[in-house]
């Protein structure tokens, strides 16, 4: 790789670092090309990518991006997961894949520029995804509104039943409901003409 190519790779990695909500570092020893491709497919569903680049180039890219927290993680075989979307979904994809294969232990990472220890990345992987959290939030917000609508509906239907019962009692007692006057009390046009 010549100097221009290295510079282009450094710029590309620096851009990926700055565009990502989270960056997770894993030790990729023992992973096959087919396994890496499978993991990349799972990560693409979470709007994340997996990248293996020489540590020296990534170190320079971290300098360029101002991501000092990534530098200590760049020892030994290191692959980086760049999570542009839901940080929990990306961590979960790597964590689950690592758990089933026995590979890819977390070295650490960053979330919004803040350093994360391996245990913190694993804890993020156990969080619900953003979609699940959004649904839970909607349920929390909608629950009181649903209760209010139900209460108002019950109140209105109860009032309607009460008014209906009052009207029935008046009819049974021979009283006409308010607003219903007998037809004989209303003067007609013909009565006026007779006078």
Note the pTM of the prediction, 2 decimals. 0.67
pLDDT in tens, 133-186: 677 677 777 677 777 777 778 878 888 888 888 888 888 887 655 555 555 555
What pLDDT score does 98 carry? 93
Q: Going along 17-121, which residue ranges are E strands?
A: 22-27, 48-52, 78-83, 106-111, 114-116
pLDDT in tens, 111-127: 999 999 999 999 999 98
Q: What is the Cα–Cα distance from 74 to 68, expressed in whole angstroms?
A: 11
Q: What is the Cα–Cα distance from 184 to 189, expressed in whole angstroms?
A: 13
Residues 6 or more apart from 136 whose CB is under 8 A from it? Answer: 128
What pLDDT score does 30 carry? 94
Q: DSSP character for 179?
A: T
């Amino acid at each position: 790789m010549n100097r221009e190519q290295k510079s282009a790779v450094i710029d590309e990695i620096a851009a990926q670092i700055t565009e990502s909500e989270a960056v997770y570092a894993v030790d990729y020893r023992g992973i096959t090309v087919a396994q890496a491709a499978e993991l990349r497919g799972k990560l693409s569903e979470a709007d994340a990518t997996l990248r293996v680049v020489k540590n020296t180039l990534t170190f320079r890219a971290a300098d360029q991006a101002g991501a000092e927290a990534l530098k200590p993680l760049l020892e030994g075989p290191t692959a980086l997961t760049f999570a542009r979307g839901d940080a929990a979904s990306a961590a979960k994809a790597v964590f689950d894949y690592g758990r089933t294969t026995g590979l890819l232990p977390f070295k650490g990472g960053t979330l919004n520029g803040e350093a994360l220890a391996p245990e913190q990345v694993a804890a993020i992987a156990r969080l619900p995804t953003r979609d699940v959290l959004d649904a839970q939030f909607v349920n929390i917000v909608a629950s009181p509104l649903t209760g209010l609508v139900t209460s108002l509906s019950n109140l209105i239907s109860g009032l309607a039943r009460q008014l209906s019962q009052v009207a029935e009692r008046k009819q049974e007692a021979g009283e006409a409901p308010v607003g219903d006057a007998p037809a004989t009390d209303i003067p007609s046009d013909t009565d006026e003409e007779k006078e």
